[in-house]
Amino acid sequence: MSEPLEVLRDAILGLDEATALETTEQLLAAEVEPQQILEKGMTAALLELGERWKRGDAFLPEVIAAAAIFEKCNEKVEPALLAGGAHKVSDKFVVATVKGDLHDLGKNIVAAMLKTVGMEIHDLGKNVPTEEIVQAVRRLEPRFVGLSALLTTTMPEQQAVIEERAGRRRELQREIKELAQKRESYLQEKVNEAGGAVGSLDDQIYGAVRAQAAEKGLSYEADAPAY
């Protein structure tokens, strides 16, 4: 690790906001790779602070203050990182702090770090109702969803969102099953009208496709879909 990056890391750990911001600007002016600044300077500081927290050598006010400095440094680094076009990823990521919780520092850090590697972040904010999160997931169809909660009284809201989403999925599955049953009933009705010559209309369709493929010297092994 180069010396300026160590200075940045130590400034964040030491809660020295002025030095952290000044060093960040110096690193960017020196054309140090933004990803290096993020990983070896800023993120390294938070990881070290996390280890200190586990050992009981750091306390919550220090973690909050360091995270706030990280965010301010990231405001300077993020534009340069995104302008470089590195690490482009097409995945969508929805993040939110659940209903009843106003703590969003951790969520913001995660969102900032994911954004800098090219992920498409949709931050719904804090104190977000379950229904709003579920609607956003349905509308945006993200690959990932991050739910933040710091209070033990609001953590059940995370499970509420998961259960609501699962309930919607089961509802959709029931609707699909009902449609399939109606379709099968319709097909059987048409087969009966035709005198029941074959087991199902699907078999006739797929048989015709296979015959056409054979005429062209091709093989078509797919069977009619099962419901």
Assess whether 101 and 155 both reside in one domain: yes
Q: Tell me, what's the pLDDT at 225?
A: 40
Closest CA to 115 of 150, 144, 140: 144
Q: Where does a domain end: 20, 50, 85? A: 85
Whether residue 190 is contained in a domain is answered as yes
Assess whether 49 and 81 both reside in one domain: yes
Structural domain range at position 145: 87-171
Report residue 153 as tokens.
């009284």
Assess whether 157 and 179 both reside in one domain: no
Euclidean distance between CA atoms 196 and 203, whole angstroms: 12
Assess whether 77 and 129 both reside in one domain: no
Assess whether 48 and 102 both reside in one domain: no
Assess whether 64 and 46 both reside in one domain: yes
* CA quadruple 128, 130, 134, 135: dihedral, nearest 10: -60
Q: Tell me, what's the pLDDT at 168?
A: 65
Report residue 16 as tokens.
């020295």
Assess whether 106 and 154 both reside in one domain: yes
CATH of the domain at 23: 1.10.1240.10
Q: Which residues of the chain are modeled with pLDDT < 50?
A: 1, 197-201, 220, 222-227
Assess whether 23 and 55 both reside in one domain: yes
Q: How many Å is the maximal CA-CA distance in the chain?
A: 86
Whether residue 226 is contained in a domain is answered as no
Whether 61 and 113 have beta carbons less than 8 Å apart is answered as no
Whether residue 223 is contained in a domain is answered as no
Whether 187 and 202 have beta carbons less than 8 Å apart is answered as yes
Assess whether 96 and 167 both reside in one domain: yes
Assess whether 6 and 81 both reside in one domain: yes
Full DSSP string of 3-52: HHHHHHHHHHHTT-HHHHHHHHHHHHHTT--HHHIIIIIIIHHHHHHHHH
Q: Tell me, what's the pLDDT at 215?
A: 62
Whether residue 222 is contained in a domain is answered as no
Q: Tell me, what's the pLDDT at 223?
A: 43
Q: Tell me, what's the pLDDT at 175?
A: 62
Q: Tell me, what's the pLDDT at 122?
A: 92
Assess whether 97 and 155 both reside in one domain: yes
Q: Is 20 exposed, middle or buried (CB count within 10 Å of its CB: 0-12, 13-18, 19+)?
A: buried
Q: Tell me, what's the pLDDT at 7?
A: 95
Report the domain count for the chain.
Answer: 3
Whether residue 184 is contained in a domain is answered as yes
Q: Tell me, what's the pLDDT at 125?
A: 93
CATH of the domain at 157: 3.40.50.280
Euclidean distance between CA atoms 45 and 60, whole angstroms: 15
What does DSSP say about strands 144-148 and 92-97: parallel, antiparallel, or unpaired? parallel
Q: Where does a domain end: 35, 58, 85? A: 85
Whether residue 210 is contained in a domain is answered as yes
Assess whether 160 and 178 both reside in one domain: no
Q: Where does a domain end: 85, 102, 124? A: 85
Give the three-state DSSP class for 169. helix
Q: Tell me, what's the pLDDT at 120?
A: 86
| Angle, in degrees to the nearest 10, between helices 44-55 and 60-83 | 160
Euclidean distance between CA atoms 139 and 141, whole angstroms: 6
If you count DSSP H runs as helices and E runs as strands, how many of each does the chain have, helices first? 9, 3
Whether 46 and 81 have beta carbons less than 8 Å apart is answered as no
Whether 81 and 38 have beta carbons less than 8 Å apart is answered as yes
Whether residue 93 is contained in a domain is answered as yes
